[in-house]
């Protein structure tokens, strides 16, 4: 739902950053569509029961999502660097048409680079009669070579570019005296969040991928080493799925309207929790004006709503008049007013 809403909001924004975010959300939605079968795969204790062709397809989507996501996070980082460090010199480069062209190139490169699973048998059966999907023990020669390519060009290359862009952003922000301190902090947080998403979601997976590949190239038939890394490797695979959760959070850094939407949603959830907690009250309708608690109501116009309780107290502190004000009631169990929303 969050990724679908991101696509809609990015279409409204109509800027080059929105183009990259749309592509990021599309990649996440493709991966999310495969999650039910992956969950079933792990619940079956790594036993794939859905056939060869579905394994090929989902392996292809898995790899494509990883490297498309990394590429577009890198694009966002570089775009922010150009916007902060060279706002006028590269203004013509930072256009929607350019972003669309870059996005098309990214998709073509990653689809071609990660299409290998579509042309190879991806099922492997171990001695315990488990059928693995796109996992083979020991590794094959071409898989080891592909893993080195993925690690250095698909992960380390873009991540290094993001580090360079982050350093440039810090230098540009530090030298810019016209930008407010709060705005500088927001720019720095965005750049840092991009780096951390790539590092935390994809770093462990590629570290183990590199270790497995090097171990195989040195000792091709060392199954014991593969077995020792099996559990850790699967944990790192699961961490890559967190990217689909991190990307909507990233959008909140970029778009102020999205941050307001999240704030309103959280306030509505707090209000609902408050109302459930006071369900023993004689009548909520007599105590809480629910019309003021909606997702559409701006936060600045919301009125305080106080949960009903045994002893009404004023929201203005002890000693002030208690009871109702503006149709709302308040309570206090610990000596001070408790704000529910």
Residues 53 and 181 in one domain: yes
Predicted pLDDT of residue 52: 87
Residues 158 and 298 in one domain: no
Six token digits for residue 6: 């991101």
Is pLDDT larger for residue 15 or for residue 229?
A: 229
Alpha-carbon gap, residue 186 to 165, rounded angstroms: 15
Alpha-carbon gap, residue 164 to 152, rounded angstroms: 16
Residues 244 and 287 in one domain: no
For residues 187-193, give the mean pLDDT: 85
User: Which domain, by its residues, includes 224?
Assistant: 2-254
Residues 112 and 198 in one domain: yes
**Exposure string (b/e) for 153-165, b if CB count within 10 Å is 16 or more?**
ebbeebbeebeeb
Predicted pLDDT of residue 64: 93
**16: buried, middle or exposed (CB in 10 Å: 19+, 13-18, 0-12)?**
buried
- Three-state SS letters, 272-292: HHHHHHCCCCCCCCCCCCHHH
Radius of gyration for the chain, computed over Cα atoms and rounded to the nearest angstrom:
26
Q: Give Cα separations from 144 to 151, 212, 225 (angstroms).
A: 11, 8, 15
40 — alpha (psi -120 to 50), left (phi > 0) or beta? alpha
Q: Where does a domain end: 254, 287, 318?
A: 254
Is pLDDT larger for residue 218 or for residue 292?
A: 218
Beta strands in the chain (DSSP E): 123-125, 131-133, 324-325, 328-329
Residue 341 domain-assigned? no
**H or E element in which residue 10 lies:** helix 2-13
Residue 268 domain-assigned? no
Number of structural domains in the chain: 2
Residues 135 and 223 in one domain: yes
Residue 273 domain-assigned? no
Residue 295 domain-assigned? yes
Residue 261 domain-assigned? no
Please determine, for residue 19, whether its predicted confidence score (pLDDT) is greater than 50: yes
Please determine, for residue 11, whether its predicted confidence score (pLDDT) is greater than 60: no
Please determine, for residue 160, whether its predicted confidence score (pLDDT) is greater than 90: yes
Please determine, for residue 91, whether its predicted confidence score (pLDDT) is greater than 70: yes
Predicted pLDDT of residue 260: 55
Among the residue ranges 5-9, 22-26, 231-235, 268-272, the one predicted with the least confidence is: 5-9
Q: For the segment 216-261, what is each residue's pLDDT rounded down to a tens digit?
A: 888 766 667 777 788 888 889 889 988 888 877 776 655 555 455 5
The owner of tokens 């590429």 is 71
Kindly indicate the confidence band of residue 327, based on its pLDDT and cuts at 50, 70 and 90: very low
Residues 287 and 175 in one domain: no
Residue 115 domain-assigned? yes
Residue 31 domain-assigned? yes
What's the CATH number where 154 sits?
A: 1.20.1070.10
Tell me the whole-structure pTM to 2 decimals: 0.70
Beta strands in 167-231 (DSSP E): none
Residues 232 and 130 in one domain: yes
Please determine, for residue 265, whether its predicted confidence score (pLDDT) is greater than 70: no
């Amino acid at each position: 739902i969050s990724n679908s809403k991101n696509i809609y909001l990015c279409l409204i924004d109509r800027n080059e950053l929105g183009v990259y975010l749309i592509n990021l959300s599309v990649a996440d939605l493709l991966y999310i569509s495969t999650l039910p079968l992956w969950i079933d795969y792990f619940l079956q204790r790594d036993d794939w029961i859905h056939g060869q062709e579905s394994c090929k397809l989902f392996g292809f989507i898995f790899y494509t999502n990883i490297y498309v996501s990394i590429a577009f996070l890198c694009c966002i980082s570089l775009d922010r660097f150009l916007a902060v460090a060279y706002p006028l010199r590269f203004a013509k480069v930072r256009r929607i048409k350019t972003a669309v062209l870059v996005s098309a190139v990214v998709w073509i490169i990653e689809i071609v680079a990660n299409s290998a699973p579509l042309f190879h048998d991806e099922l492997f059966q171990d001695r315990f009669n488990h059928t693995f999907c796109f996992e083979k023990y020991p590794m094959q020669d071409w898989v080891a070579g592909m893993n080195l390519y993925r690690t250095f060009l698909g992960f380390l290359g873009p991540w290094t570019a993001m580090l360079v862009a982050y350093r440039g952003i810090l230098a540009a922000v530090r030298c810019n005296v016209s930008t407010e301190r709060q705005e500088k902090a927001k720019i720095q947080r965005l750049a840092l969040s991009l780096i951390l998403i790539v590092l935390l979601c994809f770093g462990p997976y590629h570290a183990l991928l590199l270790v497995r590949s090097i171990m195989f190239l040195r000792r091709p038939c060392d199954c014991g080493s593969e077995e020792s890394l099996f559990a850790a490797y699967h944990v790192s695979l699961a961490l890559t799925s967190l990217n689909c959760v991190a990307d909507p959070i990233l959008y909140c850094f970029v778009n102020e309207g999205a941050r307001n939407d999240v704030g309103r949603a959280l306030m509505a959830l707090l209000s609902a929790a408050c109302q459930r907690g006071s369900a023993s009250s004689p009548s909520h309708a007599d105590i809480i004006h629910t019309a003021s608690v909606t997702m559409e109501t701006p936060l600045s116009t919301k009125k305080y709503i106080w949960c009903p309780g045994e002893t009404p107290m004023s929201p203005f502190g002890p000693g002030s008049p208690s009871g109702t004000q503006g149709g709302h009631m308040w309570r206090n169990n610990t000596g001070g007013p408790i704000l529910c929303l």
